Amino acid sequence: DVKVTQSSRYLVKRTGEKVFLECVQDMDHENMFWYRQDPGLGLRLIYFSYDVKMKEKGDIPEGYSVSREKKERFSLILESASTNQTSMYLCASTNPGGAYEQYFGPGTRLTVT
């Protein structure tokens, strides 16, 4: 079974803090993604990575950065957390050109106060 895990289910941070969200997949997938999910807005792509040390901006990259030093791990970084970054963050992984299915992690509910 494919497994995508995220470091925390719930996280509370203060405005201005640097926040790290970690995602690990165990299926040797090449592509990894970070989405944020907000009511009425669906899933919006923040960043994705198609290889180690490679990354591309998604639709809403402002205020975020990412790191992929190892194939199985993809980190999302909020350099200076703000209240409008309070959201559910979902990580996903897939292999390109194959079955297309994206496997999602359980999500991290981040609250910035």
Partner 1 sequence: QQPVQSPQAVILREGEDAVINCSSSKALYSVHWYRQKHGEAPVFLMILLKGGEQKGHEKISASFNEKKQQSSLYLTASQLSYSGTYFCGTDKSPGGSRLTFGEGTQLTVNP
- Contact residues toward partner 1 (CB under 8 A) are 4, 31, 35, 40-45, 48, 50, 56, 58-59, 90, 94, 96-97, 100-107
| Choice between 4 and 76, CB closer to partner 1 | 4
Place of tokens 């090449």: 30
Q: Which residues share a beta bridge with 32?
A: 49, 93
Task: Write out the two tokens for 97.
Answer: 């050109």
Smallest separation (angstroms) from partner 1 to the CB of 106: 5
**Of the two residues 48 and 64, which places its CB atom closer to partner 1 in the complex?**
48
| Least spacing, CB of residue 15 vs partner 1, in Å | 27
- Least spacing, CB of residue 59 vs partner 1, in Å: 7
Tell me the pairing of strands 19-25 and 4-6.
antiparallel
**Could you tell me the smallest distance in angstroms from the CB atom of residue 18 to partner 1?**
26
Q: Which two tokens stand for residue 10?
A: 């719930």
Give the nearer residue to partner 1 in terms of CB position, either 42 or 53. 42
How many CB atoms are located within 10 Å of the residue 43 CB? 15
Kindly tell me which of 43 and 77 has the beta carbon lying closer to partner 1.
Answer: 43
Cβ pair 58, 48 in contact under 8 A: yes
Distance of alpha carbon 60 from alpha carbon 62, whole angstroms: 6
